[in-house]
Structures are given as structure tokens and as C-alpha cells.
Amino acid sequence: MSALSRNDTSLFGRWWWTIDRWSLAALGLIIGFGALMILAASPPVAERIGLDQFYFVRRHFVMLPVAIALLIGVSLMQPRTVRRLALIGLAGTVLLLIAVLLAGPEIKGARRWINLAGFSLQPSEFAKPFFAVIAGWLFAEWRRAEGFPGHIVAGALYLLIVSLLLMQPDLGQAVVLSAIFFGQFFLAGMPIAWVGGAVLFGVFGLIGAYFTLDHVASRIDRFLDPASGDSYQVNRSMEAFMNGGLLGRGPGEGTVKAFIPDAHADFVFAVAGEELGLIACLLVLLLFAFVVLRGFARVLSEQNLFVMLAASGLLAQFGIQAIINMGSTLHMMPTKGMTLPFVSYGGSSLLALAIGMGMALALTRRRAGGGQP
């Protein structure tokens, strides 16, 4: 591909010379690392629940080409097309979030999935990237068009989606969505008097969740006092990191994954810690940081406010989700069922992240005129 001429005006040629190839390469490495960890972590989980040992491996590798195609295909889009995709996607996601509450199966006390054509879909995963783009557009229009209440519309949309998420309940996704919304609002020029109100809103929201959602209270209590409840997965996770040391036991040689129920999903980073070691885990952490920070660096000089806000929201979602997963695995914060982007098993998460990072790559492409939509 490097042989493509800079004078190549084809769709792919223009894409290749305007895309952030360093970020694309880093995402490729993360996806490759995820494939390796699914091969290492999922067979024991499948065997433990009575499935063929390669059940999760096959399902992941069926979805992986689709995710890569989505990532590349969406990154080919222009900002205006990204905005249209997000608008259609968010409208569909809101309808699915309502359908989940009405017809979704209850699993472990929560309604988060819906079956569509034999595929179990988690709409909340798609709400985050689509909302980030639409909220960015509304805030940008608020600043561009005098009298347009974009911030109010964005706020109403935020409250609608967060309410639907809390009714499932899914506090983790609501927290990520809140971080996206208030981060974009701040970048767009949130009145300084409102900043304190936003902080108080977050504090009282978490306090309210603690007293109204039993599973949230249980996880916070176990984080503060592990002896107060079942901390099995966290204990095994910390054991995995201790077993791995600096260099790890080697791919496939871990033992703790045979005992962690979510070793292929929420706790896949613990499997990496045992089999590949601390140094490899730090390199993975650096890859995530590189993607986020390089993306922010590219939008710093962006003249189009929509592009800057939307890309910032997408990058923030990617980074926050990784921090929550790694922090939970390392017992640095209460456990939360959130995937490690492109690494954990989960079809909805994989596809939603591919769309989200595809939009981020599309928005951070170099364009003449500062990226006019």
C-alpha cells in the first residue's frame, strides 16, 4: 500500500494518504493482541460451561473480519457522512433500548440484550459512539448558529439515553456516556457556573446509584472491604498478575483462567498478566494511550468545531472504557462489566467499537480547509 502514489485520486488512494496510519497500525496491534488473548483465554471458559472448547474462538473470528471491514469502511467516510450515519444509528439504538426494556430477556437481574435474527445484541454499546457524534454536532451548531439551542437538545437526548440505561440497569455505560457528554459540553464552552453543577450532578448521581441499585452497592462495598462479600474474580485476577511477574508464564500456560468465569471477557487483561507478564501489559496500555493521545493531538489544530468535539468524544469513550476495564481487573476501582476494547470477547462491543473508531479515524483524516463537513 505504501507504493500508492500521492497523485492517486481514487477513493482508496485519498484515504491512504489522509488517514492517520500510525493510529491505524496501533489499532491493528490491539486487534491482533485481542485475537491472541481470545485463543488463550476462552477455551477453558467454554469447557467449564459445557460447550466445545473453541466455541468462543469461532464466534470471535467470525465477527472479527466484519469488525475490520466496518473499521476501514467507516474511516473512508467524510464528516458529513459520519454525521448522517450517527443520526440514523442513534435513532435505531434508542428504539432498540426501548425494545430491550419491553421484550429483552432478564439475565442476572438486568435487561441489556435483545435477540435479532438469532444474534444477541446489546444496544447500549452502540449508543456511546453514535451519541458522541450527534452531541458533538449539536454543541457545534449551538456555537455556530446564534439562537439554536443545541446544548439543550443535546442535554435532553443525554437524559433520555441515560434514563433508558439506568432502567436496565447499566450504570457503567451511563457513566461512560456522562463522561462523553460533559467532556464535550466543557470543550464547547460550558458556562463556568455550570461546571460546579456538573460535578455535583455526578457526585449525587453516584450516591443515588449506591442507595438505589443493590448490585452497585455490593460492588462498592466489596471494593472498600473485600471481606464483606464475594470477591472471587478479583482475587483470582490479582493472583494471575502475581503469577505472571514481569515476563509471564508464556502464551497458553496460565492456570487462573480455568477458574475465572469471565476470563475471556471482563477479566481478559488478567489472563494477559499471567501469560505475558507485566511488561507486555504495560505495552498494551501504551498502545491504548497512543491511540487516544495521538487522536487528540490531531484534532487540536482542527478548525471545524463539530469534527473536534465528535472526535474528542469518540476518543474519550475508547480511553475511558479501557481504563475502567484495566482498573477493575487490577482492583483499582469497583468491578464493572465493561469490555477491554478490541480485546475482550463480545460481538456487540467489537462491532460498536469498530464503528466508533472508524468514525474517529474518518474525522481525524487530513482534509483541505480544516475539515469542513
Question: Rounded to the nearest 5°, which phi and psi values hold at 110?
Answer: -135, 150
Residue 21 domain flag: no
Helices 21-48, 55-75: inter-axial angle, 10-degree rounding: 160
Residue 255 domain flag: yes
Query: Of the ranges 131-135, 250-254, 300-304, 364-368, which is most confident?
Result: 131-135
Helix (H) or strand (E) holding 361: helix 347-363
Residue 26 domain flag: no
Domain extent at residue 60: 32-363
- Between these two residues, 117 and 89, which has the higher pLDDT value? 89
Residue 18 domain flag: no
Asked if residue 116 has pLDDT above 60, the reply is: yes
| All residues at 6 or more sequence positions from 162 whose CB lies less than 8 Å from its CB, including other chains | 174, 177, 178
Residue 235 pLDDT: 84
Residue closest to 264 by CA, chosen among 60, 50, 28, 25:
60
How far apart, in whole angstroms, are the C-alpha atoms of residue 133 and residue 48? 41
Bridge partners of 111, per DSSP, are none
Asked if residue 150 has pLDDT above 70, the reply is: yes
Residue 20 domain flag: no
Query: Of the ranges 197-201, 226-230, 308-312, which is most confident?
Result: 308-312
Residue 368 pLDDT: 57
Residue 91 pLDDT: 96
| Total number of domains constituting the chain | 1
Give 372's pLDDT tier (boundaries 50, 70, 90): very low
- Residue 278 near residue 241, CB atoms below 8 Å: yes
Residue 229 pLDDT: 66
Q: Which three cell numbers stand for residue 114?
A: 435483545
Residue 191 domain flag: yes
Residue 156 domain flag: yes
Give 169's pLDDT tier (boundaries 50, 70, 90): confident
- Residue 359 near residue 85, CB atoms below 8 Å: yes
Residue 187 domain flag: yes
Residue 1 pLDDT: 44
Mean pLDDT of 9-27: 89
Asked if residue 109 has pLDDT above 80, the reply is: no
Reply yes or no: is the peptide bond before residue 43 cis, omega within 30 of 0.
no
Q: Tell me the pLDDT of the chain averaged across its residues.
A: 89
Q: Give the DSSP letter string of 81-101.
A: HHHHHHHHHHHHHHHHHHHHH
Query: Of the ranges 93-107, 124-138, 200-214, 329-343, which is most confident?
Result: 124-138
Residue 297 pLDDT: 93
Q: Which three cell numbers stand for residue 324?
A: 475502567
Strand ranges for the chain from DSSP E: 114-116, 119-121
pTM of full prediction above 0.85: yes
- Minimum mean pLDDT range among 74-78, 266-270, 280-284: 266-270
